[in-house]
Amino acid sequence: MRYRYRLAPAPGQRQQLARTFGCARVVFNDALRCREDARAAGERLRDSAIQSRVAAQAKRTPERAWLAAVSATALVQACGDARLAYRNWFASRSGQRQGRRLGPPRFRSRKDRRQTFRLTRQSFALRPNGRLSLAKIGEVRVRWSRPLPSPPSSVTVIGEADGRYYASFVVERAEAPFAPVQAEVGIDLGLERFLTTSQGTIVANPRPLRTRARKLAAAQRALSR
């Protein structure tokens, strides 16, 4: 279950959030492109090999050295998102995935209305002062609208097009048991009568169309006088 809260990052933190959004987006696209190139070449690559190529190894190249400025967890999770998107597409094509047929996963763009990155438990923490500590970003103010029911296992940081930031926590919540049932009642739905209960209660059909038609006819008569 997800619990979402508004964030109030400082100006410097906003810059680092934007940097992390961008790096996660680039790694996602690189992982997607790597999978597509391997498929076109008839090559099978392990997930770990793709992750190493587009994240760990990429950080040591001049073209991608700036990836080291953000949390490595955000990059790893972006690789996982690309893997899941690709597998869902193939499962949809083969009929293994129920629901509407999915098209091929699309590359992410800086112009997308929503930017995200995800961190797992080792890369974020909730501080006693109520702030959210994010790896390589710092402690960010949170507007807590309700308490979390349990310690979160991951957090997705979201940047919306309107400039607002949110944290979406994945938590577990125990299901509250229903109150014991003291009595049962059967309900029969119909056209002449909206419903009739097994106890004999009758609820009339409101028939809104018929009521409005009568009002319309009365208004038309009044208008023609």
Indicate whether 156 and 205 sit together in one domain: no
Residues 41, 155: Cα–Cα separation, whole Å: 36
Q: Which of 202, 20, 49 is nearest to 115 (CA)?
A: 20
Quick check: 8 pLDDT over 90? Answer: yes
Query: What does pLDDT average to over the chain?
Result: 90
Q: Note down the domain range covering 209.
A: 187-224
The token pair that represents 190 in the structure block: 């119909």
Give the Å distances, CA to CA, from 106 to 22, 28, 54, 159, 187: 16, 10, 17, 19, 48
Q: How many domains in the chain?
A: 2
pLDDT in tens, 53-89: 999 999 999 999 999 999 999 999 999 999 998 888 7
pTM: 0.75
Q: Which tens digits make up the pLDDT trace of 80-139?
A: 999 998 888 767 766 666 677 777 889 999 999 999 999 999 999 999 999 999 999 999
Shared domain check, 76 and 12: yes
Residue 75, burial from CB neighbour count under 10 angstroms (0-12, 13-18, 19+):
buried
Q: How far apart are CA 197 and CA 184, in angstroms?
A: 10
State whether 102 and 193 are in the same domain. Answer: no
Cβ proximity of 23 and 66 under 8 Å: yes
Residue 192 lies in a domain: yes
DSSP classification of residue 37: H
- Residues 203 and 107 reside in one and the same domain: no
191/163 same-domain check: no
DSSP state of 178: P
- pLDDT tens digits for range 147-178: 999 999 999 999 999 999 999 999 998 877 77
Instruction: Report the C-alpha gap between 129 and 141 in whole angstroms.
Output: 9
Pair 97, 205 in one domain: no
Do residues 158 and 213 both lie within one domain? Answer: no
In a domain, 35, yes or no: yes
